[in-house]
Structure 1
Amino acid sequence: MTSLLAQREIMEIHGRFDPASFLAWIARHATKLGLRNEVAHASQERIELRTEGPEDLLSALEMACLLGPIEVWVDTIERRAVPLEADPSH
């Protein structure tokens, strides 16, 4: 059963990549999946994203990043749940 409840996570991607082009690629995929996405850190070896959406779609974004564009090498992706604040829109 898929969960449609929004979750918030920090997704930390480690590897070797051009952050500008990889972030544009990630943003396109996050938009296609209907996820909220905010960049907290970006360097050639680490990208930290704050993502929000259903768990299954967050997992889909993780898999997409692992398989990502040919010029990107992803070693690991760490995901950490972040509690949603008390917000009546969630």
Structure 2
Amino acid sequence: MATELFSIAGQVDAPGFAPWIERHARRIGVGVTLLQAASDHVEIEVEGPPALLDAMEMGCLLGPIEVWVESIVRERVCAAGA
């Protein structure tokens, strides 16, 4: 299992984006926590197997239609005491 911070930049102010992220995370089997949301960026913490974190990134890049994601920067989150 890995935990990463996703900083999603672009036109991401659609009201349905945060619920979409949560539904997509459940669908692919990763945990997600919304940390910050603004009109030009969203930060989420995603936990799961590395391959599924990649799938979460791809999902966020491609959908939903109401947002335009310009970039996603991923940063590994170290576990406490690690």
Normalization by structure 2: what TM-score? 0.92
Moved over 4 A (4+): none
Q: Is the 1:51–1:58 Cα contact (8 Å) retained in structure 2? A: yes
Q: What residue ranges of structure 1 are gaps of 5+ in the alignment?
A: 1-5
How far apart are the structure 2 equivalents of 1:14 and 1:48?
9
Q: 1:44-83, aligned counterparts within 5 Å?
A: 44-83=39-78
Alpha-carbon distance, 1:19 to partner: 4.8
How far apart are the structure 2 equivalents of 1:78 and 1:32?
22
Q: What residue ranges of structure 2 are gaps of 5+ in the alignment?
A: none
The one-letter code matched in structure 1 to 2:37 is A
Query: Percent identity at matched positions?
Result: 42
Alpha-carbon distance, 1:29 to partner: 0.5
Bigger Rg, structure 1 or 2 = 1
Normalization by structure 1: what TM-score? 0.84
RMSD (Å), alpha carbons: 1.5
3-state secondary structure, aligned to 1:20: coil
Alignment of 1:36 onto 2:26: no
The one-letter code matched in structure 1 to 2:76 is A
How far apart are the structure 2 equivalents of 1:19 and 1:38?
18
